[in-house]
């Protein structure tokens, strides 16, 4: 049994060394937050006329699915991770339906959808209207697709020695100790690649508490962290240096930021404001394999207050 297990691990390492992958991140926006905090200064609320009719949120959810479908199809030939933040509960069955629609026609196998819900359930303040969502839970979601592994323990491409399955993914949840609406979802694949989908709190003390709770790599193993970081890359790297100080991963993690803004909003005078607060943290072992800078999928308009970002890693 031990020899068989070792053989499978070696096969998976070969797959990782030969195949590239892509990591996508998007804060799709739980609209209750937008209603509570930027009701009169939201391009998203304006675009979908939410003030006039809250049921227009369904059209926005449809547009999110259309965007994610386009991204998934575009990168269907390689291993793909789609990391989503602020996912409303109503979007979860729509994601499942979208994926099922592509299996067999575009996708070789069914991707894994990893979901973790926060203990905090968003609720509207001071605006008692009809419920915005049937399921108002807020979730972190990571979709993992790999055309080189099987739905079950059957190789898809025997030339690659693919004997594993996406069911071998290990998912770990890290809840922020100080904020019931922030956390990190870590996926470790059978090849040893770690992808962390994170929503970092805005308050620095809360952010440090979450980062201190993460399991950082013990050596320069393949590692990608991405999400809504809520601060620009230099400020985040200072937090990372604090969180990893004295740990084996200290100094082995590199920041990769997009070259364009990733979040949009309105100032009090109605002028547009832009930020770059969604970005990547990667292990030094992966740094030279990236197609940096990360791409910003900013041609979709105001579906969310964030744009999707995409970083591709070449074959190693």
In the 3-class helix/strand/coil scheme, how is the chain assigned residue by residue? CHHHHHHHHHHHHHHHHHCCEEEEEEECCCHHHHHHHCCCCCHHHHHCCCCCCHHHHHHHHHHHHHHHHHHHHHCCCCEEEEEEEEEECCHHHHHHHHHHHHECCCECCCCEEEEEECCCCCCCCCCCCCCCCCCCCEEEEEEEECCCCECCCCCCCHHHCCCCEHHHCEEEEEECCCCCCCEEEEEECCCCCEEEEEECCCCHHHHHHHHHHCCCCCCCCCEEEEEECCCCHHHHHHHHHHHCCCCCCCCCEEEECECCCCEEEECCCCCEEEECCEEEEEEHHHHCCECCCEEECCCCCCCCCECCEEEEECCC
- Residue 292 phi/psi, 5-degree rounding, is -65, 150
For 216-252, write each residue's pLDDT tens digit: 998 889 999 999 999 999 999 999 999 999 988 888 9
Give the per-residue pLDDT at 270.
82
Burial 20-49 (b: 16+ CB within 10 A, else e): bbbbbbbbbbbbbbbbeeeeebbbbbeebe
Distances in whole angstroms, Cα of residue 238 to Cα of each of 66, 189, 217, 252: 37, 28, 18, 14
Give the per-residue pLDDT at 152.
40
Quick check: bond before 97 cis, omega within 30? no
Give the per-residue pLDDT at 90.
99
Task: Give the number of other CB atoms < 10 A from CB of residue 204.
Answer: 15
For 90-135, write each residue's pLDDT tens digit: 999 999 999 999 999 999 999 999 999 999 999 998 765 678 999 9
Q: Regarding beta strands 79-88 and 21-27, do their DSSP bridges make them parallel or antiparallel, or are they unpaired? A: parallel
Instruction: Take residue 248 and report the two structure tokens written for it.
Output: 């084996």
Q: Point out the residues of the chain with pLDDT beneath 50.
A: 1-16, 18, 152-163
CATH topology of domain 2-313: Deoxyribonuclease I; Chain A (3.60.10)
Whole-number Å distance between alpha carbons of 30 and 238: 28
Q: Where are the domains of the chain?
A: 2-313
């Amino acid at each position: 049994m031990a020899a068989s297990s070792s053989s499978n691990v070696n096969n998976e390492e070969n797959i990782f060394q030969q195949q590239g992958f892509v990591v996508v991140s998007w804060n799709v926006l739980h609209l209750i937050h937008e209603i509570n905090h930027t009701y009169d200064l939201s391009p998203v609320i304006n675009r979908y006329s939410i003030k006039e009719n809250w049921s227009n949120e369904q059209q926005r959810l449809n547009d999110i699915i259309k965007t994610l479908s386009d991204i998934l199809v575009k990168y269907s030939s390689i291993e793909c991770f789609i990391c989503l933040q602020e996912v409303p509960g109503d979007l979860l069955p729509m994601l499942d339906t979208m994926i099922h629609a592509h299996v067999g026609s575009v996708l070789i196998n069914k991707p894994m959808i990893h979901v973790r819900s926060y203990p905090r359930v968003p609720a509207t303040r001071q605006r008692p209207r009809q419920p915005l969502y049937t399921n108002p839970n807020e979730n972190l979601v990571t979709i993992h697709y790999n055309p080189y592994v099987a739905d079950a323990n059957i190789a898809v491409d025997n030339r690659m020695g693919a004997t594993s399955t996406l069911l071998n993914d290990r998912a770990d949840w890290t809840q922020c100790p100080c904020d019931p609406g922030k956390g990190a979802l870590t996926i470790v694949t059978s090849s040893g690649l770690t992808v962390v989908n994170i929503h970092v709190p805005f308050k620095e003390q809360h952010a440090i508490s979450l980062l201190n709770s993460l399991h950082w790599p013990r050596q320069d193993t393949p590692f990608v962290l991405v999400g809504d970081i809520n601060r620009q890359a230099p400020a985040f790297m200072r937090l990372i240096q604090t969180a990893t100080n004295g740990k084996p991963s200290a100094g082995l993690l590199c920041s990769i930021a997009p070259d364009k803004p990733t979040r949009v909003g309105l100032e009090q005078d109605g002028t547009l404001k832009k930020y770059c607060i969604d970005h990547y943290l990667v292990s030094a072992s992966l740094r030279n394999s990236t197609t940096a800078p990360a791409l910003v999928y900013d041609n979709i308009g105001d579906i969310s207050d964030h744009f999707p970002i995409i970083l591709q890693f070449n074959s190693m």
